[in-house]
């Protein structure tokens, strides 16, 4: 009798351990599934309308409208709906993606993940940018960054307006760009 109770107790103990183990495995799988939730990327429009803090992590999906021909370190995303006015997001390549974007990116919808960085300037920065732009035009570089942040004259006007309100406020936030830590091309 005691031996039967011992076997029944051992069987119940093993069944309980198996139930706990299987529940534990199920919960671990659920926890894994919960922690690897699919990230829904922002659209270009949502990114441009959002308020960020320098250093925020973000995932954005957009059409790569342009890739810098001088090393492929800058990709510009726009809304895939080409009927909308073109607003661009600058995505900077980092070492984590090999220092450059794939040359086949233009014309494809990319999903870019990275760190949001504030693009700021000052009076001296605007003057230096004007000199760079002049040199780039002479060297036949593109002016894609002006589509992302504005022309030199637009930036100067915005900073002048801001300083008219508060003369001590000499730094202008142009917008935000993404330091790209990963990106995906569509599967063809």
Specify whether the CB–CB gap between 97 and 180 falls below 8 A: yes
Q: How distant, in Å, are the alpha carbons of 6, 7, 9, 14, 49 from that of 3?
A: 5, 6, 10, 16, 73
The pLDDT value recorded for residue 69 is 84
The pLDDT value recorded for residue 17 is 35
- C-alpha 142/C-alpha 133 separation (Å) is 9
| Structural domain boundaries in the chain | 1-37, 44-184
- C-alpha 47/C-alpha 110 separation (Å) is 14
Q: How is domain 44-184 classified at the CATH fold level? A: OB fold (Dihydrolipoamide Acetyltransferase, E2P) (2.40.50)
Specify whether the CB–CB gap between 126 and 155 falls below 8 A: yes
**Residue matched to tokens 């504005």:** 150
Rounded to the nearest 10 degrees, what angle do helices 152-165 and 123-138 cross at? 170
- C-alpha 52/C-alpha 58 separation (Å) is 9
The pLDDT value recorded for residue 32 is 43
The pLDDT value recorded for residue 130 is 78
- C-alpha 181/C-alpha 165 separation (Å) is 38
pLDDT by residue, tens only, the chain of 188 residues: 433 333 233 333 333 333 333 333 233 333 444 455 678 999 999 999 999 999 999 999 999 998 988 889 999 999 888 666 678 899 999 999 999 999 999 999 999 999 999 988 888 888 887 787 777 666 665 656 555 566 777 877 888 888 888 888 888 888 899 999 999 988 76
The pLDDT value recorded for residue 126 is 81
């Amino acid at each position: 009798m005691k031996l039967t109770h011992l076997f029944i107790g051992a069987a119940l103990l093993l069944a309980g351990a198996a139930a706990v183990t299987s529940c534990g495995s199920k919960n671990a799988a659920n926890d894994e599934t919960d922690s690897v939730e699919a990230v829904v990327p922002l659209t270009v429009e949502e990114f441009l309308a959002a308020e960020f803090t320098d250093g925020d992590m973000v995932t954005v999906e957009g059409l790569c409208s342009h890739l810098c021909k001088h090393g492929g370190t800058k990709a510009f995303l726009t809304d895939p709906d080409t009927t909308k006015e073109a607003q661009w997001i600058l995505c900077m390549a980092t070492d984590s993606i090999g220092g450059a974007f794939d040359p086949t990116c233009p014309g494809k919808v990319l999903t870019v993940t990275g760190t949001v960085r504030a693009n700021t300037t000052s009076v001296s920065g605007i003057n230096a940018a004007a000199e760079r732009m002049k040199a780039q035009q002479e060297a036949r570089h593109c002016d894609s960054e002006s589509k992302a942040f504005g022309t030199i004259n637009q930036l100067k006007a915005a900073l002048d307006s801001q300083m008219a309100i508060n003369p001590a406020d000499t730094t202008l936030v142009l917008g935000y760009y993404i330091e790209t830590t990963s990106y995906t091309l569509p599967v063809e």
